Amino acid sequence: MNTELLPKCPQCGTPLPANAPAGLCPRCLMALNLKTETVFTDDMPAAQPPLPPAQIAPHFPQLEILECLGRGGMGVVYKARQKSLNRLVALKLLAPERVQDAKFAERFTREAQALAALNHPNIVTIHDFGQAGGFYYLIMEFVDGMNLRQLLRARKFTPEEALAIVPPLCDALQFAHDRGIVHRDIKPENLLLDKAGRVKVADFGIAKMLGTVNGGGDPGRTATPENATQTALGTPGYSAPEQKTDPQRVDSRADIYSLGVVFYEMLTGELPGKQLQPPSKKVQIDVRLDEVVLRALEKKPELRYQQVSEVKTLVETIVATPPDNSRREEAQIEAKGRQSKLTSLPTYRLGRVVSAIWGLWIFVLVVLVIYQKEGSPAWNLAVS
């Protein structure tokens, strides 16, 4: 078939194939699919299309609305320029189909309050909040970069980069937890990375404020079915088990679980499956990381790390110290074994013996330490 005889697409110039859907150029149609990075979480009702900037602008005379960035959580986000200060901001509007719902208006308000209480370099800053022209709006700092989901899909992630992101993320979460705020929706879409490589946690849309009027302290609030409704469950795959089974009891440890999922996904490129496989079995990484990730992913909150700062310390330690030799040898041998069937038997056995001896010594030392400090939480570590 002589393609020069075929009509060309007026847009991109490629010859239109005979099976072009409705006579439209497949390449251009596909390009349309890639334009907006919208992500659907399961808890969204049938979404209306976001209003174009021209329709928003009249209600925000102080802003120049530049473009719609997409949907996130319950809102639609626009890039805008704050005229008075000549800086870029992000304008988040409560999704149009949610406006009539008092529950969501209240939740949007709560998000604003949560952000206002959190002034931290790794949490998006809020500039303003209110209502205008029937919209609930949030004006936040504009993060010039991408979210973690976009980066993961673009495959621009190395294990080193993953490890670099986790400590500041822990800082942000610990900061929030210290102020009684649980994010409850930690996932790659809500983690922004700017071009300087800074991590920013965003979208506190379903955050829980503990011990405040809106949180567990007010019996009036806990009596409402609000916490048990589907929309407060977080995102499937990332939310901790107790977010579904026992939402009233959700606390900061739920964020630790979600952090574990994100960590796992950054390292392996996949979500943890039903048969939870340690990350080092899927990719070439330091085996010490397995313990950190797996413990964060414990189904029971009491078995996880109790403070996000613990995760940060462990990750930083692992990064800063070379892996101890017996484990590295074992990991290397295991890796070789995976690559080829011809494992050298004598070396393999030696590696096993060496690490068994180390293991024994470590066990002895740990037992001695425990013996001295009876009942200390370090007992949990020894049991593994």
Output the smallest distance, CB 144 to other proteins, in A: 21
Beta bridge partners of 191: 201
Residue 78 backbone phi and psi in degrees, to 5: -120, 150
Helix axes 308-320, 159-178, angle to 10 degrees: 150
Query: Starting from the edge strand earliest in sequence, which strands make up the sheet with 145-147, in order?
Result: 145-147, 191-194, 199-201
Q: How far apart are CA 307 and CA 312, in angstroms?
A: 9
- Per the document, the length of the chain is 384
Helix (H) or strand (E) run with residue 356 in it = helix 345-372
Q: Which two tokens stand for residue 31?
A: 């390009």
Nearer to other proteins, 20 or 366 (CB): 20
Q: Would residue 269 be called left, alpha or beta, if left means φ above 0 and alpha means ψ between -120 and 50 degrees?
A: left
Output the smallest distance, CB 375 to other proteins, in A: 41
Residue 147 near residue 169, CB atoms below 8 Å = no
Residue 114 near residue 204, CB atoms below 8 Å = yes
Helix axes 308-320, 252-268, angle to 10 degrees: 30
Nearer to other proteins, 153 or 299 (CB): 153
Output the smallest distance, CB 22 to other proteins, in A: 5
Per annotation, catalytic residue among 43, 171, 185, 324: 185
Residue 207 near residue 252, CB atoms below 8 Å = no
With a CB cutoff of 8 Å and minimum separation 6, the contacts of 234 are 184, 185, 187, 206, 240, 243, 254, 258
Nearer to other proteins, 27 or 328 (CB): 27
Nearer to other proteins, 40 or 371 (CB): 40
Output the smallest distance, CB 266 to other proteins, in A: 13
Report the interface residues with other proteins, using CB under 8 A: 1, 3, 5-7, 9, 11, 14, 16-36, 38-40, 42, 47, 49-50, 52, 54, 149, 153, 237, 270-271, 273-274
128 is catalytic: no
Q: What is the DSSP string of 199-218?
A: EEE---TT-EETTSTTTTT-
Helix (H) or strand (E) run with residue 64 in it = strand 63-72
Output the smallest distance, CB 27 to other proteins, in A: 6
Nearer to other proteins, 32 or 102 (CB): 32
Q: How far apart are CA 278 and CA 259, in angstroms?
A: 15
Nearer to other proteins, 28 or 366 (CB): 28
Output the smallest distance, CB 272 to other proteins, in A: 11
Catalytic residues, by residue number, are 185
